[in-house]
Structure formats: structure tokens, C-alpha cells
Amino acid sequence: MTGFLSAHGYNPGPTQRPMTAGAICGVVAALPAVAVLWLFGSLEVEAKILSLSVAATLGLGFVTMALAGAAYGRIFGRAANDRRGGWLFGMAFGFALWAAGAVLVLPIASSGQAPAGPAALGVCLSLMVWGCALGLLIPFIHPYLHERIETAKSAELGPNAAASQSARRTPQGDGPKC
Amino acid sequence: MIRSVDFSKAVKAGAVGALAMEAVSFALRLTGIPAVDLAGELGSVLIPMDHGIGLAGGLAAHLAVGAAWALFYAYFIWGRLKWAPPLQGLAFSIVPAVLAILFVYPQLKLMEAHGDVLTLRWRDLAEHSLPGLFSIVVMHAVYGLVIGLLYTRPVGYRVGDTPHRLAKRRAFDRAPDRGRRNPHGFLFATGIECSYPTIDHGRWRRDEMQSTFHYRRWQQDFDLCRRIGITHLRYGPPLHLTFLGPERYDWSWVDEPMAELEKFGPEPIVDLCHFGVPDWLGNLQNPDLGPAMAEFAKAFAERFPWVRFYTPVNEMYVCTRMSALDANWNEQQRDDKSFVTAVCNLANASVRMTDAILEQRPDAIFINSESSDFTQPCCPDPKIQQRADLENERRFLPLDLIFAHELSAFMKDYVRDNGMSDEQLERFASRKVPRRSVLGIDYYEWNERLIDTHGRVEALGELFGWYVIAKQYWDRYQRPMMYTETNRMDAADAPRWLWRQWHNVQLMRKSKVPLVGFTWYSLADQIDWNIALTKAIGLVFPVGLFDLNRDVRTVGLAYKQLIDMYADVPEFRECRDVMELMR
């Protein structure tokens, strides 16, 4: 199944930089997400649960979102460049982050404390908004980060490839830059 | 791009599925079962102050979530399981049901709570009443069944319908066309996959240019060709959308792309008939196919007098076999008589189209593409040998007819027994084949086949290779050749396959066989070719130089390297075989 999915779209292309694109877009997408958190009063609640100042919570949030964006770029790879479906994949990823991070990890890390009421709604919505924005942004920002076709070269793709056995052994042969 | 998805169909299916969930919830509550009221719960969280507006808001939110899940189904699940569509939807519904039980529903309760912070206990996460759990499972099962039922055939369209129009032409910085600097150069080609057969007994049209978004991205596609140095593009305007009836044409599907190609390149090899015919002509059993297609070819050549390269009918053997022997496309017959009729009609169309084009453009060059097939018997069993012999004779039939090659005694009997008259045979045999006719040979890893001890046909992979198989065609027809299609289904292995096929080309040239070009087919990934377009699933077949987002694949870079390396080598820059053909 994984091999099938890889062949059909997940392996990033040879000129792509999915992790860099994901990290950049992760930070940009955090801006509307922070607005949602602020609107629902979730930012202060999260800071209280984490015993941090609001500024430190924000800083931690941006770093986390950059890392999460890079992870999204790596996991979804070529599919993250899809202009029609990107927002959906991003939202799915945002949902997964919410379920794993806000619902499971945050209470564990804070002795069972979790946001409730509108603050809980704000956390959920902010991650969905973040995911949606991330998925929307990558297809538009990533092309600016691609290595150009005109200059991209790889010895593995030249004439020696005719005798290469490595491509057959490595299903991830469509490898990205980073 | 991982799938070709019909967004509007998925959104509608998801919204209807969510409505069905609400109806089930309502029905359960009417019967006294305390079912979960998702719209009500969502509404009380989103708009807690007003129950009426809250319920409406909750319902809207639920429909949106239903639509999003249906899109997820369309992208990741649909068509992957070989089950009836409602069962696929039912299986998929396990995912949202589990997430609803574990996360969404408990969190909705948390969101309804008063206060900013609560201390959770683990058992809070799984606190459901049994009837509540039951209702969530039943509601999601109904949702799954509904989306499975409604979301089918995401690619193609009902016969008689038309897809969205071509995108408008726009101005942008175009890459230079390499072919123009090198008019006698070897042809480094690719193609836009443009098959348009019907399936489902003539009710559903497959249209690869629609499925692969060429109608929207045609300008970008041509530019991508130029960027990797492609000199010639196999390009088939949509016959079924253009040729509307006798002397009725809709050139809006063709004019702008052809104007772009004329002005900026690459040079097109125009493919006039690619596995399908217009609705009004029915299918390949129609004896009027020849005169009708000749009329279209004449009109096309009149309208675009600058076009020099033509493929009148693409892969006649594949088309007739799939339509009349294997019951997959168009007429979907499975008998020798239908096959011979289809071959006769299509070969007649090819000949008449060629003649019609020559009237307009006497120096036209015809690239007659055909699939190179070979069937190997597994053992000395006479029945298996006989079957392999039949296949190895039958593969030549359409080319024998258009190249006026005498049929073997065995094939003469075969076509006569299946309805071809001596007069028809004589007409083909006495044809004067135009000098500028090129034998285009396509080759894929499944073209060599074995008939096993059970009489089953199995793909052999690259046993003898293009050189050996194509040489059989050269020995028979002695026409200038071109390698007109190849690709590799395993995207990671595609660069290796490309270079190996190129070395076949080099060996063929060294053998003094006139060879004018090579083609990686196609420019972008294709849809559903892993199942030969027989069902409208929407699966990506990752064989393109570019994927469907138009991001380059490794084989795209490898082909660029190949072209950069060879295009200016003297024997390819001033290719003797091309010069002879152009003469």
C-alpha cells in the first residue's frame, strides 16, 4: 500500500524542497491560527496550562508549527503541491495534530489539565485553520523554492542509470533536495 | 496530484451523507433510542445563545464536515478496494466513526462545559452510553453507504455531454523551442495522452485530456515540453468534441492550442484518431467511418496548412483488439468477425485520411504508430503454439493493410472467414503507399507476452526488448522508423528504462535502419491506464515526465539530460534519415 501511494504521488520530485516549503508555510499559516486562538481566549488558557507567559507560548507555538509544517511537507511530499486538494490534506493534518497534541499530549504534559468551553473550541478551530492555510499556501510558495529544471542535474539520472540497480531497490528514487 | 477527483460529486455525496446521518439520528430518537444529535451538539457549541440558529449552524457545520470527509474518501479510498462502491464507503466510514467516538464527541462535551480549564481523567475520554455509541456507529455506517453509492465514476463524462471549455490563452514568458534551431534534427518527442474511447457499452466517455487537466493547463504543458528540449509533440485534438457531424466542426477545442504550437513550438505530430470516434459515428463497426474521417482529415489539413506531421489513426491494432476482441472499449465485442470489421474500417479510415491530407499538403509526413507485440508459447503444446502463431500474425494485420503488404495465406483465410471481401483486400493491396510514411513502433514492458501451460496470457516484461521486436516490423515493412511510445509504470525505475530504450535506438541506428525519432510517452502522468481505461476510477498512472501538478519527475530530468547530451551531436543534429524523409 505504501509503495503504491509513493508511486502515485507522495514521493517529492527531484527539484522540490518539501520540508523547507512546509516549515515556511507552517510559520505563515500560524498567523491566522493565532488570531483564532486570541478570538476565543485560548491563548491565555494554553499559557496558563503550560505555566508560560503568553509571549513564550506564542514563541513555542511558532517553532512547533514550523516543525509540524516541515513534517507535513515530508509526509505528504508531492501531494502537498496539489492546488485543489492541498487545503484538505492540510486540514486532515491539522485535525491529526489537534487529536494527538491538544487532546492527548497536552493533558498528559499538564497533569490532566485541558482547555474547556470556548477555549477548547478555539484550540480545535485554530489547528484546523492552520492546517487549511498550510495546505493552501504550499502549492503557491513551493514553486519559488524549487531548483530550476534548466539547472537541476543529477549523476544518477544520466547515462549510467541504464546499468543502475539502485533505482529498482529503492522505491523512494524520486528523491527531493530537503 | 495523487488522484483525479470530482470535487462537486464528492461534496454533494458528503452533504447528502451528513443529511442521511441526521435523518437516522432523528429516526432513532423517535423510536426512543437516545441517539447522538450531532447537529444539535455542534450548534450548541458554535452558537450557544440561540437554539434555532444554533441548530441551523450546527447542521451547516455537519454538512461541511461531511463534505470534507467525502473528499478525503475520494482522494484516498475510492477505487482502492475491489468491492461494490457502497461497501467501499461502508469500510471507509470506520475511520470517521472511530475518530468521532475517541475524539470528536468527547471534545464536543468538553467545549460545552463551563470554565476555561478542566482536569481530565482518562475515563472521560471514553465515556459514552451504549445507545450513544450504537447510534454513532449506525449513523456513520449510513454515511459511508451513501457516499459510496453517490461517489462513482469521477473521471470522464456521459456520452453526449461536453467537459468545461479550454482555458483562455494568456501571455507569459515562454521557453525557447529547441526544434526550430534544428529543422533536420532527430525527433526528441513526447506526447499529450489524449485517448477518448467509450466504455460501459457506449454510455461513458473516457477523455484523458480532461482527466489529466490538459484542457486547463495546455499552455503550461507546451511550455514544459520546450523547457526540457522536446522538439516534437504527439498531440491529438479531441476528435469527439471537434467533429460534431457531417461538415459540422467545433474548432474552439483546437484553434488556440494549434496557434500556440505554430508560433512557439514544439512541432506537433497531429494524432487525428486516438482510440475513439465521435458519438454520432457510434463505434468501429460503422462502415461510414472511412469517408467521415477522410472528411475530417481534409478539413483539419485545410484549417492548419502549416502542420506537416500526422498520425492518421493511432495504434490501430490496440484499438481494434480492445474494442472488438477484448470487449473493453467502444463496441465492446468479443469475436473475430467484429475484430476484422473494425480493422477493415479503421485501416480504410487511415488510408482515406492519408489521401485527404496529401491533397492539401503533398509533402506531409505520416507517423503510423503501432504497438509492437510479441507472443511467446511456453511449450511445444500444439494448441498453445497455434494460438501464439495466430497472435503473432494478427498483430500485423492493420499495418499490412495500410502498407499494402501481402497477407500470409493463413491471415487471408482468417479475414475472409470473418467477412472481409476479396475486393476490399485487393483495394488495400493495390494501394500506393506514400513515400513519407514512417513506421512508428511503441513498446512497453507488457508488450511481450507468454501463453502459459493453462493457456493464460502473461506479461513477460522486457525479454527480447524493443530492438528485437521492432526489427521484426522493420524486416516486414522496410519503412523509416520512429520509436513512438514508451514509459515505465514504476516512476523510480523510469530513468533506467529511458536510457535502456535509448540504447536500443542507438543499436537500431547502427544496424543501418533509418530511424527518425524517439518518444517518451507521455508529458504528464496518465489516469487509469493501469486498468487500460476500462473503468472510470481516477487512479494516477505515474509514467509522465511531469506529474499532474506539472512538477518534474526524475525521468523528466533524465530525458532533459539525454536530449542535452545528444541533440547537438552531428549525427543527431543533421540526421540523415530525417533529411531523407523531408526531401
Per-residue pLDDT, A169: 46
The proportion of chain B whose per-residue pLDDT surpasses 90, expressed as a percent, equals 85
Establish whether the linkage from the previous residue to B266 is cis, with ω within 30° of 0.
yes
**Which pLDDT does position B39 carry in this prediction?**
86
> Residue A109: is its pLDDT beyond 90?
no
Question: Distance (Å, rounded) from C-alpha B64 to C-alpha B67?
Answer: 5
Cβ–Cβ below 8 Å for B2 and A164: no
- Per-residue pLDDT, A171: 42
The per-residue DSSP string of B288-319 comes to THHHHHHHHHHHHHHH-TT--EEESSS-HHHH
- Choose among A7, A41, A139: nearest Cβ to B542: A7
Rounded alpha-carbon distances, angstroms, from residue B300 to B232, B238, B272, B434: 19, 12, 9, 19
Rounded to two decimals, the ipTM of the complex is 0.86
Asked if residue A167 belongs to a domain, the reply is no
Q: Compute mean pLDDT per 10 residues along chain B, 583 residues long, and list them.
A: 86 97 94 88 78 85 95 91 94 95 87 82 66 92 98 96 94 87 92 98 97 96 96 97 98 97 96 98 98 98 98 98 98 98 98 98 98 96 96 97 96 97 97 97 96 94 96 97 96 94 97 97 96 94 93 94 95 96 91
Residues 6+ apart with CB under 8 A from B380: none
The percentage of residues in chain A with a pLDDT greater than 70, rounded to a whole number, is 87
What per-residue confidence (pLDDT) applies to A1? Answer: 41
Number of structural domains chain A divides into:
1
* A172 in reach of chain B (CB within 8 A): yes
pLDDT at residue number B37:
87
Burial track A68-100 (b if 16+ CB lie within 10 A, e otherwise): bbbbbbbebbbbbbbeebbbbbbbbbbbbbbbe
In-domain check, residue A127 = yes
Mean per-residue pLDDT over chain B, rounded: 94
Q: Is residue A165 part of a domain?
A: no
The minimal CB distance from B499 to the residues A83, A161, A171 is found for: A161
Residue B122 confidence (pLDDT): 63
In chain A, residues 19-58 whose CB comes closer than 8 Å to chain B:
41, 44-45, 48-49
Q: What is the DSSP letter of B552?
A: B
pTM for this model (two decimals): 0.92
Name residue B518's amino acid: F
B549 with A103: Cβ contact below 8 A: no
| Dihedral pair phi/psi, residue B481, rounded to 5° | -120, 160
> Residue A177: inside a domain, yes or no?
no
Asked if the model's pLDDT at residue A172 lies above 50, the reply is no
Compare B338 and A104 and report the one with higher pLDDT: B338
Is A11's Cβ below 8 Å from some Cβ in B? yes
What's residue B47's pLDDT? 76
pLDDT tens digits, B180-215: 778 899 999 999 999 999 999 999 999 999 999 999
Euclidean distance between CA atoms B415 and B407, whole angstroms: 10
Q: Indicate if the pLDDT at residue A177 is higher than 70.
A: no
pLDDT tens profile A61-90: 999 999 999 999 999 888 899 988 999 999
CA angle A163, A164, A168 (to 5 degrees): 130
Residue A71 domain flag: yes
Nearest to B120 among A13, A112, A154 (CB): A112
Kindly list the domain boundaries of chain B, sorted by start residue: 7-150, 157-582
Do B244 and B281 contact (CB within 8 A), yes or no? no
**A125-135: per-residue pLDDT in tens?**
999 999 999 99
Q: Do B549 and A116 touch (CB under 8 A)?
A: no
Domain span at A20:
13-143
- Nearest-CA residue of chain A relative to B81? A1
Q: Give the architecture-level CATH label for domain B157-582.
A: Alpha-Beta Barrel (3.20)
Residue B245 pairs in a beta bridge with: B248
Q: pLDDT per residue over B23-43, tens digit each?
A: 999 999 999 988 888 888 888
